Amino acid sequence: MSKKRSLFWVVYRKELLDSLRDRRALISMIVVPFVVMPLLLLGMGGLTMKVTVSAETREYAVMIIGEEAAPSVLERIEESETLRIVPVADDFREKIAQREIQAVLEIPDDFDERISRGEAAELRIFTYVGDSASRIAADRLERILRAERAQIVRERLAEEGLSDEILRPFSVVQANVAPPEKVTGALLGGILPYVLIMICITGAIYPALDLTAGEKERGTMETLLSSPVPRSILVFGKFGVVLTFSLASGFLAVTALGGSFWVALSQLEAPGQLGELALNPVSIAAFFLLLIPMAALFSALLLVFSLFARNFREAQTYVGPLMIAAILPAAVAVIPGVELTAPLALLPVLNVSLIGRDLLSGIYPWGLIGLILVSSSLYAALALWLAVKLFQKEAVIFRE
């Protein structure tokens, strides 16, 4: 046993050093999770905020049909700094469809007469459903109309000697009772596990392909197999390197994303509007522990898939379906309302993604955690066993 352990470490060190000398492997393990992902997330966040601010301050073209029937409404719209009234045209529907204007308000001809008689009047807003600019313009028109309606109600109540407070017999105030940890889990519990799972799998792809299909392409696989080291030890050594790259990528991603999160939070003009936020290191550590057998599963599967390939490019083709099989269940945790149950705890990737949401919220279902840990470890062991079996078949390694 000590000899096999010694041989394992020899193979592991040799493969690890070879991989660390490869610039592309370092990019996949360090640059992508530690540099690219934070820049991408911060860039997307900054771009989203910029677009949102731009949308809020942009001027939108609206058309008012029957404006002479409601001069007070027209005056309110003219006072708006973000709504521009355009001349009335018969083809207003076509103009909305072509996005030449964003919304049209139609006021009935007898609007003022109805209001003066205390009757109800119907106003219509024509929009382009699905177009964000049209929706924003329509929302602003509705806010103006609500303000006008409130003014009319106040005037009617004043005529009767009543206060408008009669329409508001009570007020409602929301108060957060969730601790900071649970608030953070609710905000990040869906997306953070998904990102970390993808980073771990992505970090394992290049070393797995390079240590199998890459060696075939370079012609070094025959030399390696002719050594007196058992093939099972060779597989374990390669597997250990791939798993190291996978977990290192995940660890660097946690560090980088945590820093990015706090940087982004500090840039908010009113961070208190999100409530008090906190990430529990114990929850992060527990999730990372459950991430290990899942990373081991995909490390072994990547070795299996790439072992069939004749060269590196062919191996990349084989890995594509495996990535799709990982992305779909990992993304399920982002969907609201999906809860972790015992059957779901047996499904690889999905189980880790769902439990990550609970752990980041400070919820520790120990029974399900144990079930996930055992099932994921079993799947990883089966995948590694399959890799060892295939590595012993010459027809697979040197297939033409």
Tokens read off for 249: 């990528």
Integer-rounded Cα Rg, in Å, for the chain is 31
Say if 135 falls within a structural domain. Answer: yes
Do 150 and 204 share a structural domain?
A: no
Domain ends where: 142, 167, 192?
167
Do 160 and 194 share a structural domain?
A: no
**Which among 78, 110, 104 has a CA at the least distance from the CA of 91?**
104
Do 367 and 249 share a structural domain?
A: yes
Domain ends where: 106, 140, 167?
167
CB atoms within 10 A of CB 129: 7
Instruction: Work out the angle between the directed axes of helices 231-266 and 281-307 (0-180°, nearest 10).
Output: 140
Question: How far apart, in Å, are the Cα atoms of 237 and each of 6, 59, 126, 233?
Answer: 11, 63, 66, 6
Say if 31 falls within a structural domain. Answer: no
Domain region containing 106:
57-167
Q: What is the mean pLDDT of each run of 10 residues along the chain (400 residues)?
A: 80 84 71 68 65 74 92 90 92 93 93 86 92 91 92 86 81 79 69 82 88 85 82 92 90 73 57 55 82 92 88 85 84 77 90 85 87 93 92 76
Say if 174 falls within a structural domain. Answer: no
Say if 17 falls within a structural domain. Answer: no
**Contact, 333 vs 194, CB < 8 A?**
yes
**H-run or E-run covering 60:** strand 60-65
Do 135 and 189 share a structural domain?
A: no
Alpha helices in 21-131 (DSSP H): 23-26, 37-57, 71-79, 92-97, 111-116
Say if 139 falls within a structural domain. Answer: yes
Tokens read off for 276: 């008090």
CB atoms within 10 A of CB 244: 21
Do 201 and 91 share a structural domain?
A: no
**Which among 248, 249, 197, 243 has a CA at the least distance from the CA of 33?**
249
**H-run or E-run covering 34:** none
Do 295 and 234 share a structural domain?
A: yes
Q: Rounded CA gap, 22 and 233, in Å?
A: 23
- Please name the residues in contact with 314: beta carbons below 8 A apart, sequence gap of 6 or more: 213
Do 238 and 365 share a structural domain?
A: yes
For residue 104, list its beta bridge partners. 63, 126
pLDDT at 271: 46
Amino acid letter at 314?
E
pLDDT at 270: 45
Say if 342 falls within a structural domain. Answer: yes
Kindly compute the dihedral angle of the four CA atoms of residues 279, 285, 329, 242, in this order, to the nearest 10 degrees. Answer: 130
**Which among 91, 37, 105, 94 has a CA at the least distance from the CA of 261?**
37
pLDDT at 396: 75
Do 184 and 97 share a structural domain?
A: no
Do 197 and 131 share a structural domain?
A: no
**Contact, 367 vs 341, CB < 8 A?**
no
Q: What is the CATH number of the domain that holds 101?
A: 3.40.1710.10
Do 184 and 158 share a structural domain?
A: no
Q: Rounded CA gap, 196 and 292, in Å?
A: 12
Do 207 and 351 share a structural domain?
A: yes
pLDDT at 273: 47
* Number of domains the chain contains: 2
Do 251 and 225 share a structural domain?
A: yes
Say if 15 falls within a structural domain. Answer: no
Say if 47 falls within a structural domain. Answer: no
The DSSP annotation for 88-105 comes to: --TTHHHHHHTTSSSEEE
DSSP classification of residue 204: H
Domain ends where: 132, 167, 202?
167
Total-model pTM: 0.72
